[in-house]
Amino acid sequence: MGGKMTDDNRAVQYDTVEIAGHTVVAPWLDGFISEELSRPLKEYFPDNDPELWFSWELDEQNRWVVEKMFAGRCAFLGLPNPGEYVGCHHIIKRSIAHKAARVPWNCIPVMHSPNDNHNIHGHLHPTDGKSGLEICHWDYWNREDGLAVLDRRDGGHRIPNEKLAFYQIPSQGKADAATEWIRLCLAAYRNHIKSGYEVGALSAVGDEYAVVLGYKTVNACLSSYGMDTAPFKLGSRVVDNLPVHWDEGMDKFVALRFMDMIGKMPEEEQKALFDLAVQKCAPLDLDDPNDRRNPSLPDWMEAKKEATPEAIKSVECTVFGNGVAYEISEMTRDEIDSTEGIVLRGKPIPHGE
C-alpha cells in the first residue's frame, strides 16, 4: 500500500503490485464496480509482454496506448477536431508515483483542446479550487462497464456510458482494418496525383510529336489512340498557367484540380492560395510523425471564394460548337465572352430525366 498523496486538492491512496520485477501502481478500480481487472495483468501489455513495455521510453508507451489500443480516440469524446490532439493521461500522476505510474492500466487517452468544453485533460486537472472530472474506475478491456467517471462540475453524478466515447470505440481488429483502408486510399490517391502531373508534362511537350504521328493537335492524337483528353488538358493548362509552383505542387502532392483553380486566380493571390493548398488540400502522410496538418478542402474552397474577384468566378457551362457536339466546362465571365460558338450556363439534362 502506498502512502497518502495529494492530487488535485484531494487525498489519493494507491496500492502497488509486482510484475516482471517492477513495482507499479495497482489498477484504478476503487471498488466502484469490481475490484478485479477483467483480464490477467499480462494481457494489458503489448504482445502480452511486460518486458517489452518496460523497455520503451515514455513517449512510445503513451503512443501505444493512444494509437494502438484506442485508434487515436479520446475515451471521453472520440476523434479530435482540428486544433485538438489526444494525449495519454496517467490517473495516478507521474509526479506522485513516478515510474510506478507508467503501466497501461493507469493510462487513459484524453483530449487536449483550446475549447474548454472539449479540454478533458484540463477538467481532470482542475485549478483554482474548481471541481472537475473524476475517474473512479478504469479497465480498458472491459468494454461493457470499464470506465466510470463522476462529473464534479455538476453535482458529482456519474456520466452515463452512452455519453462516453470509450463505449463506442471500435475493436482493435476493426480499427486496424480501417487504418489499413485509409492507408490504401492515401497511397492510391498519391499515385493518382503523380500520374496527373506525368500526363500533364507529356501533353505540354506533345505538339511536335503529334504532328510527326500525323495529327494537327495533341488532343486529336490522344483521342485516336483511345485516351480521354481531359486529364491531359488539365495538366497542360497548369503547366501554362502556374509553372512557378509546378515542381513544389508535384512534390507536395497538391492535386492538379486545385492547381488549376490557383492558376486562374490573380497573380497576387496565387502564392498565398498555393501555400494554403499545401496545408489543406494535400493528403496526410501517416508515416510522418511531424505531419500534424489538419487538411480541410472546404476551408480552402472558402478561402479561394473570398479571394476570387467577381470577374473571374467560374460557373458550369455547356459550349456548343459545330453541329450537335457540345462540351461541359467551368468558365469565367471573360472566358464566356471570348468563346466562339454558343455558351449556355449549366449542363444539359439527359433524355428521360
Domain ranges across the chain: 4-169, 175-308, 312-353
Three cell numbers written together for 173: 481488429
> Is the predicted pLDDT of residue 64 greater than 80, yes or no?
yes
Percent of the chain scored above 70 by pLDDT? Answer: 89
Give the integer Cα–Cα distance in Å for 304 and 301. 5
Closest CA to 111 of 96, 123, 129: 123
> Is the predicted pLDDT of residue 352 greater than 70, yes or no?
no
User: Is the distance from CB of 110 to CB of 86 less than 8 angstroms?
Assistant: yes
> Is the predicted pLDDT of residue 4 greater than 50, yes or no?
no
Three cell numbers written together for 44: 494489458
Cα radius of gyration rounded to whole Å, the chain: 29
Q: 3-class SS at 180?
A: helix
- What confidence category does residue 6 fall into, taking pLDDT thresholds of 50, 70 and 90? very low
User: Is the distance from CB of 28 to CB of 105 less than 8 angstroms?
Assistant: yes
Greater pLDDT, 74 or 154: 74
Greater pLDDT, 318 or 119: 119
- What confidence category does residue 131 fall into, taking pLDDT thresholds of 50, 70 and 90? confident
**Tens of pLDDT along 8-56?**
434 467 788 999 899 999 998 876 677 788 899 999 999 999 999 999 9
pLDDT, position 5: 35
Distant-in-sequence, close-in-space partners of 160: CB < 8 Å, separation ≥ 6: none
Place of cell 476493426: 174
* Residues facing residue 25 across a β-bridge: 16
> Is the predicted pLDDT of residue 349 greater than 60, yes or no?
yes
Report the mean per-residue pLDDT for the chain: 86
The pTM score is: 0.58
pLDDT, position 153: 84
Give the integer Cα–Cα distance in Å for 202 and 248. 18
CA distances from 102 to 47, 93, 141, 349 (A): 17, 9, 18, 64
